[in-house]
Structure 1
């Protein structure tokens, strides 16, 4: 693996030969590159469309999850508010009952 990397590095440092330069120029100027270029562009377009669709689906899922979480939080808050209201009502009633009992004075039993 190291030998391969070293060979690749060495090859990239060597100057390009005249034959390599001519071949690269001919390939770039020929019509043989156009179908490959077109196929690459089409593949890139399909990938972009696929990525856009996946991103939209992910955004919808996040939106749905957020809406569900908000709904659940609201329901829990309402339930807790009802519970606190009931406790306050019971405590108020208990205090009122105790106040009435104290205002009557000590009771004398039979």
Structure 2
């Protein structure tokens, strides 16, 4: 069974950016709330020196958020996914990311 790591997300519903190690490599992650008709959280991933790798990945439950970006080798090809307590298929909302909605990293083993 694969090891699963929770990516530390600040609670409270605000946009945030932070450095995290994925697969032995440091990355800058940014989580931003898009308050539009199709509102939701999006993820940006950059190298540790700030060079953008991918921007605007919607935090949709039930999928590998890096699935379309495996060719970039982010974290050695691991998986990032989001799930919500009580309803794993519910998308994270503005106020629950980091509380009942969680972002996880699963490295390649």
Q: What is the TM-score with the length of structure 2 in the denominator?
A: 0.13
Higher CA-based Rg: 1
- Identify the structure with the greater strand proportion: 2
- Identify the structure with the greater helix proportion: 1
Select the structure with the greater relative contact order (CA < 8 A; seq sep ≥ 6).
Answer: 2
Q: What is the TM-score with the length of structure 1 in the denominator?
A: 0.13
